Structure 1
Amino acid sequence: MLKNNKQIKLNNIYNMDCIDGMKRLPENSIDIAIADPPYNLSKGGNWKWDNSVDLPGMGGNWNKVMQSWDNMDLVDYFKFTLLWLKELKRVVKPTGSIWIHGTYHNIGIMNFAMQILDIEIINEVIWYKRNSFPNLSGRRLTASHETILWGHTGGSKKREYYFNYDNSKELIFPEDNLKQPGKQMRTVWDIPNNKKKEELKYGKHPTQKPIRLIERMLKISAKKGDVLLSPFCGAGTDCVAAKTLGLNYIAFELEQEYIDISKKRLEAVKLDKILNDSMYSTLNSKKKDRSIDNIEQITLSSLIIGNDKSNKEDVLTVDSKVNSISNDDCNNRIKEETIPSILKWTGSKRKQANKIAAYFPKYDRYFEPFLGGGAMLYLVGTPGSYANDIYLPLIEFWKLVQNDKDIIIQYYNDEWNKLQRNFPDYYYNVRDRFNKQPNGLDLSFLTRTCVNGIVRFNKDGKFNNSFHLSRKGMKPSTFANIVNKWNKRIQGVNFTNLDYREMLEMTKTGDVVYLDPPYAGSNNRYIENLDVDLFMNELEKLNKKDVKWLLSFDGQRGEDNLEYPVPENLYKRKIFLPNGNSTLNQVLNGEVKKVEESLYMNF
């Protein structure tokens, strides 16, 4: 087992040639290696960007990335491949795995070299990139895949490599239109090549892979605590995935620029032993206990809230008239329930959720691309549902509630007690900490203790709401009770941090989507303003796929018409749902105005 070698230490990236670096490693010291070697494709002259050349749909001429490390004589490239693969074979355990990226430029050489060195190929995986870059020359087919070779060092007569077969069957990959939960994983992986903002925040590498691709390799062929080797580190994606999923790592990289990027990415990884996607436990689709008890302590959290003095702040009152709504296509009348307030969120639909749910059609799978506080998910989500939000700390929070409820309960208890001892300064300590490293745990604490639960960010994306001096936060026992109820309710739900368009691509006939995007003119600064035209195009795409959807989008306040001109050809029904009085308007202007919100449906 590799511990801290005198020369090479765990969880470090070294600025050295990988062959020299691997020679310093003990034999059989690595559990898994992921190699993304130079593809040797930077040949054929330098392309330049010229935006004066008008290519249809492109807006200019594109360049070819030329890197010296990616341009070798064929014989030299083959020798180089044999050298680093020989060292890789020596250091990887017979129980371990080797994953090698490539394209048609080099994958044949990799295959041949592995056979020469007696590294048995377990599988050849095709990474299908459905959003691949278009072919500009018009002289060949559009390249839409890369090849990944999965091998082991034990040889064909002694196959000891680790393979988590159960994970390969049961894990759910929302972006993959080919992988079916509960079915064997095939050798074609449908994974878009786009990266999330945090993957490119500190810079990028010309051949950088999306982290979800690397995480899939780790989830099926590695265990928590294993040691990953990344001989061609690049921007550090292998190491970031390893740290996030509880592995150790060692990496080598020649370019200091990319080492600096990698280190910044690794420093930003937080809660790496907590916020993993239940990596080592399979996601089963067995039916969970769907019973629910009423939660008495509810806190409303919206800029527009009811003004009925008879309602206690911590109890959600639902209009009983919802039961009189006629809907012939109703999903067997979804039970009217009180929704626990686990997370305060501006624009929450807790007051309207039961009324909206009464209109739901029968459906196979439920999709919610703008999750927020999750009120609708609580009522209509079932195992196999998909819940998404672009704000990563929010999704981290929901995954904790789903997979690590004891951790978040203990965290809140500890932070609440610290607040009582250092009131109210400790709140601002947590707020500063969150703004330096946003995360789901601190978000839960802040939204339970800030003024009116308003999730507010400044122009720089920093959480800036103040402490609610008249209250000291929800008691830990109450918070624990609510977390336990939510934990039961959201088992089997797939939480994703994608652009909403990526989630909508996953839908098919028989699914239902509830959309509650930032309203026109919304000022939520943790997201970019919604491109309404693009959004309407997405609704049209859903219509063409015969996917049913419900949309909360605009409304009325008193005599003020706040409606947005949604194209009438997109929807079949539009209703207004009462949402109490505008308390904010009353405070600012002394006027009481009734608020109604629109609900659009395409069925």
Structure 2
Amino acid sequence: MTDDPRGTSTDRVACIGPVAPFKTQLLKWVGSKQKFAHEIIAHLPRDFGAYHEPFLGAGGVMAVLAPARGFGSDTYPPLMEIWATLSREPELLKTWYQDRWTAFQNGDRVAVYEAIKARFNAAPNGADFLFLCRSCYGGVVRFRRSNGHMSTPCGAHPAIPPKAFAKRVDLWHQRLRGAQFDLLDYRDAMDRAAPGDVIYCDPPYSFSQSILYGAQSFQLPDLFEAIAKAKARGVWVALSIDGTKKSGGTYCDLPLPEGLFEREIMLNVGRSMLRRFQMGGQTMEAEEVKDRLLLTY
């Protein structure tokens, strides 16, 4: 197997060229990379064995890539219940959404949303979480530190109708037919990557996402250690992490292990929806941000 990540080898089964943008979202999710996932994918190795995404979230990068062999994972059970249902029982996913949307449309929307959220907080589950992701403010899935309950209010915009959502389910089911979804800690997910595979990591961001699910317990040095282990056994790793904020005026300086990453690429991701939420709708002209894409190859 060649050491050139853009070379060729019969040991690898995926070979990618330019990938077109794919903008149809399944989940509304703050921090989703789907809008510029094609730019991230352009920097992945040209050919590789399998694609691994251990911080799956809304699955935007995986959906744009549509890998022949993919492994998506995360640590939040309701989220992974959604992905497993998309893969195995897409019709059930449509039913989950339609049942909640119907109640939402026929009653007081805020009251129905709050009732669904209260039920979800009492017994977290994928069916309620699916609708909350689609109807909460800006897709900001925020949890209280005190009790772990989701606290995001109802969004101002109408929720997508069930027929339109069902079309998205069908489209995503087809695009991710080569993917396997698992409830796994990122370290276990990364350990199963074989030499010649590629891992894309999109963890909670240290400078901007401390209120989001999973962010409170996440430690970046632990991820660096897992990346180093993967790199040592011949796995290629790409990592999205804090870049700049406030229209490029503030560089998010993070201590990176020497020699772990070979390249750094800055990607413009526009204005932060999370900051819009935190600022209560104030003007966002000074809040454009860039992400860093760090590559071990």
Q: TM-score range by the shorter chain?
A: 0.7 to 0.9
Aligned match for 2:237, one of 549, 565, 590: 549
1:374 is displaced (CA, Å) by: 0.3
Give 1:448 deviation, angstroms: 1.1
Q: Distance in 2 between matches of 1:421 and 1:339?
A: 29
2:153 is aligned to 466
SS at match of 1:510: coil
Provide the residue aligned with 1:372 in structure 2: 57
Q: 1:467 to 1:332 in 2, by over 3 A?
A: closer
Larger relative helix fraction: 2
- Cα distance in 1 for residues equivalent to 2:168 and 2:284: 36
Q: Which residue of 2 aligns with 1:445?
A: 131
Could you tell me which residue of structure 2 aligns to residue 389 of structure 1?
Answer: 74
Classify 1:416/1:490 alpha carbon distance in 2 versus 1 (closer, same or farther; 3 Å): same
Shift in Å, 1:593:
3.6
Equivalent AA in structure 2 for residue 550 of structure 1? A
Gaps of 5+ in 1: 1-326
What aligned pairs does 1:119-518 form with structure 2 within 5 A after superposition? 331-361=15-45, 362-424=47-109, 425-459=111-145, 460-468=147-155, 470-518=156-204
- Residues 93-113 of structure 1, C-alpha deviation per residue, up to 9 Å, x if partnerless? xxxxxxxxxxxxxxxxxxxxx
Question: Runs ≥4 in structure 1, deviation > 6 angstroms?
Answer: none
Query: Which residue in the other structure is 2:12 paired with?
Result: none
Unmatched 5+ stretches in structure 2: 9-14
- Sequence identity, in percent? 30
Say if 1:334 and 1:379, in contact at 8 Å, map to a contact too: no
In the alignment, what sits opposite 1:533?
221
Change (3 A) 1:525 1:353: closer
Counterpart-to-counterpart distance in 2, 1:537 and 1:509: 17
Q: 2:259 aligns with which of 535, 550, 569?
A: 569
Taking the aligned partners of 1:434 and 1:419, their CA distance within structure 2 comes to 15
Structure 2 vs 1, CA of residues 414 and 582 (structure 1 numbering), >3 Å: closer, same or farther? closer
Whether contact under 8 Å (2:34, 2:64) holds in the other structure is: no
> Mean Cα displacement is larger for which, 367-376 or 379-388?
379-388
Counterpart for residue 68 of structure 1: none
* Partner AA of 2:121 in structure 1: N
Which structure 2 residues correspond to residues 57-72 of structure 1 after superposition, within 5 A?
A: none
Measured after TM superposition, the shift of residue 591 of structure 1 is 4.4
SS state of the match for residue 48, structure 2? coil
| Rounded Cα–Cα distance in structure 1 between residues aligned with 2:284 and 2:116 | 35
What is the alpha-carbon distance in structure 1 between the residues aligned to residue 103 and residue 18 of structure 2? 41
TM-score, normalized by length of structure 2?
A: 0.87
- How far apart are the structure 1 equivalents of 2:81 and 2:33? 21
Structure 1 SS opposite 2:83: helix
Displacement of 1:500 in angstroms is 0.7
Distance 1:503 1:520 in 2: 21
Shift of 1:339: 3.1
Please tell me whether the aligned partners of residues 578 and 596 of structure 1 are also in contact (alpha carbons under 8 angstroms): yes
Does 430-439 or 382-391 show the bigger shift? Answer: 382-391
Larger RCO, structures 1/2 (Cα 8 Å, 6+ apart):
2
The SS at the match of 1:568 is: coil
- The Cα shift of 1:597 comes to 0.6
TM-score (normalizing by structure 1)? 0.44
Q: Is the 8 A contact 1:382 1:492 kept in 2?
A: yes
**Structure 1 residue 582 displacement after superposition:** 4.1
Give distance in 1, aligned partners of 2:69 and 2:284: 47
